[in-house]
Structure 1
Amino acid sequence: MFKQSLATALVAVSLAACGSVTRGTTELIAFTSEPPGAAVATTTSRYCATTPCSLDVPRSEEFDVTFTKPGFQPQTVPVRTKLAGAGAAGFAGNVLAGGVIGMGVDAYTGAAMDHTPNPVAVTLVPDALPSAERTRRRRGRPGV
């Protein structure tokens, strides 16, 4: 009976320090564009119809995101993971509490990680110059 109680107490302490429990295994990532209204697609098959928007993404997932809008050039941004301060504390808590299982879970789920950049913000570039600007450049006149 004592061994079972001790085992239960150790599991409870390990889980309390576990980043998967304290931070979760997903992170909300915000996507914005200037001008707004761009479509967002990731290389992991996640989508937003128009910016601004947010997606809930597994913390261990790295991807590229492409912003598209008619009349503008597509823009792609790499989104990577990095060890976060709060995630590192949860991971270290596993060590202090003897939670080898918790360390494995955190490493597998990426609970100790944050995405960067977050938010993901882009300024879209028009496909072509406005017609007045094209005319000035053809005639060799500087812009006004």
Structure 2
Amino acid sequence: MRTILIVGFLALNCAGCASATRGWTEQITITSTPAGAEATVTGPEVPTTCVTPCVVQVKRNDDVSVAFSKEGYEPQVITLTKEVASGGAAGFAGNILVGGLVGMAVDGASGAAYDHKPNPVIVTLKPVAPPPAPPSIMRRRTPKPPTS
């Protein structure tokens, strides 16, 4: 019986509350106007590319940016920030009761208390400006011969 209690206590101590309740990954929704842009998500070990609208999964502790490209439109890059979410803060604080220092370390290393902002990532792409028109060529007028 004593062994079961010790194993149970260690299991609770090793599981960070935010890690257990929120997980180490998060889904990011990506949309663009117009739809159909290529979105390249950097930050994860392997960059992910999708066509908008789409959803990608990233680790909560990743530094994430999304680069948009579509023919006829200017490219755009959105850098996401990491913020402590209210649910993440509560889970992290729960470590005081259950997870202890080990749980806090797990939550801190995994980023389980964080959410990426903005989420969803929404952009409006700007059309590429048309190239300037070539300068008009003014014809020289030849003077009319004087009339007599």
Q: Distance in 2 between matches of 1:55 and 1:98?
A: 30
Assess if the C-alpha contact under 8 Å between 2:68 and 2:77 holds in 1.
Answer: yes
Partner of 2:40: 41
Q: TM-score, normalised by structure 1?
A: 0.81
- 2: distance between equivalents of 1:47 and 1:6? 44
Once the two structures are superposed, residues 28-60 of structure 1 have per-residue CA deviations (whole angstroms, 9 ceiling, x without a partner) of 000000000000112324223310001100000
Residue in 2 aligned with 1:28? Answer: 27
CA–CA separation in structure 2 for the residues paired with 1:12 and 1:88: 21
Q: Residue in 2 aligned with 1:9?
A: 8
Partner residue in 1 for 2:75 = 74
Deviations 1:51-99 (A, max 9, x none): 0001100000112211100000001111111101111111111112252
Q: Does 1:57 align with 2:63?
A: no
Q: Work out whether residues 81 and 115 of structure 1, in 8 Å CA contact, stay in contact via their aligned partners in 2.
A: yes
Q: Hey, what's the Cα distance between the residues in 2 that align with 1:107 and 1:70?
A: 41
CA-based RMSD: 2.1
* Structure 1 segments unaligned to the other structure (5+ residues): 136-144
Confirm or deny: 8 A CA contact 1:48 1:54 kept in the other structure: no
Number of matched pairs: 131
1:16–1:22 contact (8 Å) kept in structure 2: no
Aligned to 1:94: 95
Larger radius of gyration: 2
Instruction: Please say if residues 16 and 106 of structure 2, whose CA atoms lie closer than 8 Å, have aligned partners that are also in contact.
Output: no
Letter in 2 for 1:61: D
Q: Is the aligned partner of 1:104 residue 2:102?
A: no
Contact persistence 2:17–2:98 (CA under 8 A): no
Q: What TM-score, normalized by structure 2, do the two folds share?
A: 0.79
